[in-house]
């Protein structure tokens, strides 16, 4: 529901792409006197950012919720937290390890071997990077663990490389699947898809300049519509709202008919259904299930 300039997902993609571009730059050898260490340091920043991003966890959790009939929710973890967890996460938000635990539980319930994809997540590594409590050497990633020698440990760079590579593959796959799904749905733009058999709503897939799905429009037979569109310029959300309690999107459908006929509660018995035009075509759709 973020307006322009309030979408952390877009910013996260930008940060990761910028870091990757810097590492692959033809001038990086000239800019960084010790490029090998620079690469490791930037990869650590990328790892930290990847495991902290909210969007991948939320999308995966909601897809599993949907598969299990639990519905979409803008805050998908709430129903899986006890009162102690809710108090703990009230101000700080749900930690990555808890999100992963919930995803693994839902994937097992759905009969999908999906939870293992998060084997790249290492809470100790995450904490060391977040709290700047590490030192890089030629062969090891060393963590002081706060006060110093007591509890200090190290990770071989070969092992660290494997962990960070898996994290990068994970987020790259998320980005690619996101684009592919939006591309597939984008091919259904300018079509009227029967959506609501009772009210006779027709759903249209909306696309951006790249022909990627960026939202939807529901055409109602009383000449009204419900719209959700999300672009880099912000959102357009008209006649629809998120119902967190019931885990669904609610639509405002305009005026009901005073004497509805058999077609729809929105059409008078003596009238005919009237839909708004399909975007970019001027074509008036009709109900054809």
Q: Is 157 helix (H, G, I), strand (E, B) or coil?
A: helix
Cβ-proximal residues to 27 (8 Å cutoff; 6+ apart), any chain: none
In percent, the amount of the chain with pLDDT more than 70 equals 97
What is the average per-residue pLDDT within 241-254?
A: 81
Helices (H), ranges, 32-156: 35-52, 54-67, 83-89, 96-109, 123-130
Cβ-proximal residues to 99 (8 Å cutoff; 6+ apart), any chain: 57, 61, 77
pLDDT at 25 over 90: no
pLDDT of 2 = 66
Among 217, 210, 221, 266, CA closest to 237: 217
Lowest mean pLDDT among 69-83, 98-112, 265-279: 69-83
pLDDT at 56 over 70: yes
Sheet arrangement for strand 153-156: 134-136, 140-143, 153-156
pLDDT at 4 over 80: no
pLDDT tens for 213-223 read 999 999 999 99
* More confident: 28 or 253: 253
pLDDT of 147 = 66
pLDDT of 148 = 60
Q: Is 264 helix (H, G, I), strand (E, B) or coil?
A: coil
* More confident: 30 or 279: 279
Is the Cβ–Cβ distance between 169 and 162 less than 8 Å? no
160 exposed, middle or buried (CB, 10 Å; 0-12, 13-18, 19+)?
Answer: buried
Reduced 3-state DSSP string for 114-125: CHHHHHHCCHHH
In sequence order, the β-bridge partners of residue 217 are: 204, 227
CA 271, chain centre distance (Å):
42
Tell me the C-alpha distance between 230 and 238, whole Å.
12
pLDDT at 51 over 90: yes
What is the average per-residue pLDDT within 248-261?
A: 91
What is the rounded average pLDDT for all residues in the chain? 90
What is the average per-residue pLDDT within 198-218?
A: 96
Confidence of residue 88 (pLDDT cuts 50, 70, 90): confident
Phi, psi of 268, rounded to the nearest 5 degrees: -60, 150
Is the Cβ–Cβ distance between 130 and 48 less than 8 Å? yes
Confidence of residue 172 (pLDDT cuts 50, 70, 90): very high
pLDDT of 247 = 66
Among 212, 189, 217, 186, CA closest to 202: 217
């Amino acid at each position: 529901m973020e307006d322009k300039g309030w979408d952390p997902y877009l910013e996260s993609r930008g940060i990761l792409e910028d870091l990757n571009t810097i590492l692959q730059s033809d001038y990086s050898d000239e800019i960084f006197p010790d490029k090998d260490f620079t690469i490791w340091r930037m990869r650590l920043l990328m790892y930290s950012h990847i495991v902290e991003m909210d969007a991948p966890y939320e999308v995966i959790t909601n897809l599993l919720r949907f598969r299990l009939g639990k519905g979409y929710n803008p805050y998908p973890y709430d129903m899986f937290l006890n009162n102690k967890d809710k108090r703990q996460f009230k101000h700080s938000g749900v930690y990555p390890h808890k999100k992963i635990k919930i995803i693994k539980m839902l994937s097992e319930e759905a009969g999908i071997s999906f939870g293992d994809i998060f084997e790249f997540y290492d809470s100790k590594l995450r904490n060391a990077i977040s709290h700047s409590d590490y030192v890089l050497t030629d062969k090891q990633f060393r963590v002081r663990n706060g006060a110093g020698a007591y509890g200090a440990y190290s990770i071989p760079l070969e092992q660290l490389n494997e962990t960070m590579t898996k994290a990068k593959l994970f987020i790259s796959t998320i980005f690619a699947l996101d684009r592919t799904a939006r591309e597939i749905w984008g091919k259904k733009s300018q079509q009227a898809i029967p959506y609501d058999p009772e009210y006779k709503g027709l759903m249209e897939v909306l696309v951006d300049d790249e022909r990627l799905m960026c939202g939807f429009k529901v055409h109602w037979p009383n000449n009204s519509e419900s719209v959700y569109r999300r672009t880099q310029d912000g959102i357009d959300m008209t006649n629809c709202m998120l119902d967190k309690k019931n885990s669904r999107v609610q639509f405002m459908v305009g005026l009901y008919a005073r004497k509805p006929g058999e077609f729809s509660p929105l059409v008078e018995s003596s009238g005919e259904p009237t839909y708004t035009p399909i975007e970019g075509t001027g074509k008036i759709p009709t109900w054809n299930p």
